[in-house]
Every structure is written in C-alpha cells, then in structure tokens.
Amino acid sequence: MLNIYVAIISSLIAQVALQCNEIKAPVWNPVYSVKGILYIPYAELEEPFYAWFDLASKQSRIDYYGGMVKTYQLRNNGAYGTSLKIAPVTTETELNSQTCLQVNGSREVTIEPQSVLPSLEGFTCVGSEVVEGLLTEKWQMVQTIGQKLNRYTMWLKFRDDNDKPQAKYAIPVRYEMKGFNSLLGSHYDHYYLSYDAYSTEDIDPKVFKVEEGMPCSAFPGPGDRHIYTFNPMKEFIHPTTTSHVEFEFRKFKVKHGKGYTNDIEETKRKDVFRQNLRFIHSINRQHKGYSLGVNHLADRSELELKALRGRKYSGEYNGGQQFPFKYVERTKLPAEFDWRIYGAVTPVKDQSVCGSCWSFGTIGAVEGAFFLHNGHKLVRLSQQALIDCSWGFGNNGCDGGEDFRAYMWMLKHGGIPTEDDYGPYLGQDGYCHINNATLTAKITGWVNVTSGSLTALRQAIVAKGPISVAIDAGHRTFSFYSNGVYYEPDCKNKIDELDHAVLAVGYGTINGEDYWLIKNSWSNYWGNDGYVLMSARNNNCGVMTTPTLERLVKSVRMAVKNNKNDANKLREELRNASFHVFGHHTSCSEYFCTRKNSNKNDYTSIVDSNFFYKNSKNFRTDGE
C-alpha cells in the first residue's frame, strides 16, 4: 500500500514538473500584505518582519521585530519620494521615545515602494518540492557575474482566485539566495525568507500614515546611503542592489587604513564585511539598550575575532588571598565612580592580532595601584615584558594567559619594568630582556575580590583602583559594541566560560541599569573610545566572577612620631593633596584617622584604603 502511495505522489510531482516548465512565471498581486522571517545564516540572524505593499498607490511599509522599527517607502510623497523610519530612541532625559526620521529621494535616487517578494522575471520552473510541509513549485534563476554564480530560488504554491473563476494566484512559501565565488571556491553569501502568512486583500490607507502629530526629522545624505537603516530589505530582494555595501566598504578601508595583498583577499574581506554589516544593523533594529557600530574589526572572521580573546582558564587555584574588607552597605559607597577622572588610567591600547588581553588587564590594575602608591603619578608599565617573560609561570604570550600567573612572575622578580624602560608593545612574542630594565611596582601578593558581589567589587574599585576582571566576550554583539549599556542574554558567567581579560575602572547607573565601566584593549576605534558599559544585572558576562587586585609593598600612609600637632597637620595636607580623589566626602575623618599607639606620645596619621570605617578597629595597618 505504501509503495502505491509513493508511486502516486512521485507521478504527480513528475507531471507537475513537466507542466510547470511551460508555465509563464507568475506575477505577484499588486496589493498584498505578508508576514515572515528573514534568515541570514552567516550572520547568525533571524529577523521577523511584517510588510504591506500597494503598487497602485506607490507605497510600502515594512515593520521589523514586531513593529519595534517601522520603515515606510512612499513614492507619492514629494517629487522623488520619501523614506521614513520610526524607532524608539533613549536619551538621558527620555526612555524609548518614538522618533520619526526622514530621508528624501533625489533625481539620481528615487524612493520606490519596496516589495518583499522578488520579481520572477527570468525565473524558470524546475520542478516541484516539499518545503515546510507543503508541496510547492520551485522556480529558479542563475546569474553569473564575473567569478560569482548567484542562484535565486522561489518556492510557491497556488490558490484559487475567488474573483476570477478558473484562475489561480501565487502564494509565496520561501525565497533563497546562494552565492558561490568560483575564484574563492566557497559560498560568499546565503540568506532566505520564510513566508508565514500572505493576503491580497486591500490595505487600509492608514497603514501608510505616520501617527498624527509626530514630526519627522530630516536625515542628511542621499537615500542610497541609508539603505541599512531606512530600507534594509532592499538588499535581499531580487533585483538587489549592492552600491551601499561598496560605499560602506570604501569608507571603512579609508578610515582604518586597510590594504589587502591582492584582489582575492579584498573580495574575501568584503564578503565578511557584508555579513558583519548586516549583523550590526539588524541588532540595532532590536533596540537592545545599546548600539553596535562598524569598527576596525568589521572585516574579520569569527575565527580571527576569537584570537583576540586570550584568557586561558587553567582550572587551578590562583593563589589569591581572601578579600580583606568588611561588608559595607551599598548606600555608603559613591553612587558612581570613574578612575579616569582622577588620572589613574593610561590611554587605551590596541593588542593587535595578539591574544594578550590578560597582560592588559593585569598591567592596568597594577598601573592604577601604583598611581595610588606613587603620589598620584601615573606611569606606563610594560605589557610586553609579561608577554615575553612570564612563560615559566604558565602564560603563553600572544596565545593567551591569566592575570594571576603574571602576578606570580612579578612577585618573584620584584616588579615590572616601565614601558619607557623595557620598550614599546609589539603585538608579538618577543625576546625577554628584563636584565636590562629597572623593575618597579613591587607586589607582595594578590587578592580575590568576593565573587559575584556587586558591593565588594564597587568597594574594591573605589578603595584600590582599577581591577582586573575576566568576561565572556565571545559574542558578535561585543565585537561591534559602540555605546549604551551592554547586556547580552546569551553571555555566560562561570569561571571556566570567561575568555577575555579587561579592566574595571569604575561603575555607575543609567536609566536604572547598573553598569561597570570597562576598559578594553582593542584600540579606541572599538566601543565608546575603547570602553564599554557592561550591565551588572545577573552578573552578565561574568564581570563579578573572578576580579583580582594586587598588594603593593608600600601603603599610602605616613607617620609622624612624638608630635600630635605635626600628625594633625599631615592629615590636613594629605586631605588637600594626595587624596583629593575622595573629595566627595565632606569630613576628613571619613578616610583618615589619627591613632594613638601604645606610646602615648607616638601618633600615626593613616591614609587608609579601607576608608569606609570610622572606628579605628576597622582600619588596616599591614601594608594595605
């Protein structure tokens, strides 16, 4: 029985295949609405859309992500048409305010209604196929452009037309594009649209109208330069356009001084750039609370980006001491803090194509601590020395490492050379030459800040300076972060899941969202001038999982013996000088104390790192 059924189905498919070869390519209804999902496998994207198209009135509208972003293509508005985009915008004073932006067409580039169904002119029916559980006709067109072979495929079915007896109209099921570059021997592009619902009923004119009273601000520049923001679907529907990709890629090359060895290499890079560009703009349409942007990494593959994340977790105890501070209520800490303001942070560097992030996190923390122990003089210390010289403690130079192994090396050798003394950062494994350098910033050990504690990490940052932290940076959203508070639901926070080392230099709150101010080592072209605001919610990406700070040999304290007046004078001088960073406290006693020792005439004025405690029994005097 089963064999008979299979034979019947096969026969029907064969008949349809024979018949459809002679069928003229169908033309879509001039008025339709359709719901579906755009899939871009290479960019790892699934973007839901809802579209309305009215050819007669020369209007279209496409909504993305459930209407969060609405785009309008209105040929009947103005001499050359108008594109509108409505999206939520968040500023310091407004949260998710609906804003309308406008781009007008020009004589060279008119705004036309945008179909989400390809023109089937030039397509040929090649048979039948079951797609998404439906028996469909398969229409295909193959184009060869230079070394590129582009294959466009449309799967559709037919439905009886109630208005026209014995007539049928086409219903879209799936549309796919696969691009193969014979020169590269690989697929350079692949995307497809799955259509879930389709209607040819008349569309209410209100669909194409912007809410009354909503002003639309002009957006500068020609329309074809804003395809990604005002009409992203234009890139995916045949006949497609690539002029915007060419424009963005040229701009990218000029800005970042990109040069490629040959045409093959440039073609590869442009294809990677295309996918990353799609990803960036698709994520931005989701309005996650942060934005992505094109940076110097936009032509790099995922494998190349992975090489920048050089934290190698070994699974062994790192030898750090227990966090020494007593618990402090969060309300007693500053609401926001930023060590950059006080000069404790060196400029952002670029680790280049070297997985040396661990050295940047380590050195950044030591630089900040040394700043506090060195009369507020900021000294650049050498990442290159750690890359070259700490192999014996388990670090692997440009192939990864861990901060505590760098601390171990510093502890044994008595510090770290300055950058001026050792030489500049190379972005490569180099020859160790510390014998010719003077070591400074000698440490006595390191401390593990209480894992998972927001208050403990805040306390450590304020009291001890910038802190070395590890994060999960293995997400494309992080690679192209531009601004806003970064929260990635897919981020992991277990210690063995963190692959990148960075520096926590402060914290704060924006629109009710707590964040950590993180310094990265991917140049100031990345992020917000090299920094990222990372959400503290749910220990996202693991900032609070394994923070460490180092103990330097000398504390920031001074003693004056046998004269109480001199001790009081010193307290006042220190309050006005060295520790102006804590100027938000109005009372000196909040961060200084004068303690009388066993000798009644011996007074010690202590500038204490644990300045939150006024009671002398809470102050530390062991070199902290």
Q: What is the per-residue pLDDT for 187?
A: 74
Confidence of residue 2 (pLDDT cuts 50, 70, 90): very low
Among residues 354, 357, 389, 398, the one annotated as catalytic is 357
Q: Is residue 265 part of a domain?
A: no
Q: What is the pLDDT of residues 504-546, one digit of tens each?
A: 999 999 989 999 999 999 999 999 999 999 999 999 999 999 9
Q: How far apart are CA 320 and CA 551, in angstroms?
A: 10
pTM over 0.85: no
Are 86 and 285 spatial neighbours (Cβ–Cβ below 8 Å)?
A: no
Confidence of residue 23 (pLDDT cuts 50, 70, 90): confident
Number of domains in the chain: 3
Tell me what percent of the residues of the chain surpass a pLDDT of 90: 59
Confidence of residue 19 (pLDDT cuts 50, 70, 90): low
3-state class (DSSP) for residue 412: helix
Are 519 and 531 spatial neighbours (Cβ–Cβ below 8 Å)?
A: yes
Q: What is the pLDDT of residues 367-377, one digit of tens each?
A: 999 999 988 99
Which CATH number does the domain housing residue 94 bear? 2.50.20.10
Closest CA to 369 of 501, 503, 464, 506: 464
| 71 and 219, same domain (yes or no) | yes
Among residues 226, 500, 541, 593, the one annotated as catalytic is 500
Cα dihedral 408/410/411/414 (nearest 10): 160
Single out the residue in 508, 528, 552 at which a domain terminates.
552
Mean pLDDT of 357-365: 95
Q: What is the per-residue pLDDT for 229?
A: 79
Known catalytic membership, residue 520: yes
In the chain, the N- to C-terminal Cα span, in Å, equals 86
Are 247 and 225 spatial neighbours (Cβ–Cβ below 8 Å)?
A: yes
Q: What is the pLDDT of residues 455-486, one digit of tens each?
A: 999 999 999 999 999 999 999 999 999 999 99
Known catalytic membership, residue 357: yes
Among residues 276, 520, 539, 540, the one annotated as catalytic is 520
Residue 497 predicted with pLDDT over 90: yes
Residue 620 predicted with pLDDT over 70: no
- The HSE-up count of residue 323 (CA atoms within 13 Å, CB side) is 23
Q: How far apart are CA 296 and CA 351, in angstroms?
A: 13
| 219 and 142, same domain (yes or no) | yes
Q: What is the pLDDT of residues 381-426, one digit of tens each?
A: 999 999 999 999 989 999 889 999 999 999 999 999 999 999 999 9
Helix axes 403-413, 357-373, angle to 10 degrees: 50
Known catalytic membership, residue 500: yes
- The HSE-up count of residue 352 (CA atoms within 13 Å, CB side) is 10
Which CATH number does the domain housing residue 499 bear? 3.90.70.10
| 228 and 369, same domain (yes or no) | no
Q: What is the DSSP string of 487-504?
A: --TT---SGGG--EEEEE
Q: What is the pLDDT of residues 146-190, one digit of tens each?
A: 888 899 999 999 988 777 766 788 999 999 999 887 766 777 789
| 436 and 470, same domain (yes or no) | yes
Q: Alpha-carbon Rg of the chain, whole angstroms? A: 31
Which residues span the domain enclosing 388?
A: 306-552
Q: Is residue 256 part of a domain?
A: no
Q: How far apart are CA 313 and CA 335, in angstroms?
A: 33
Q: Is residue 47 part of a domain?
A: yes
Contacts of 567 (CB under 8 A, 6+ apart): 560, 594, 603, 604, 605
Q: Is residue 127 part of a domain?
A: yes
Residue 439 predicted with pLDDT over 90: yes
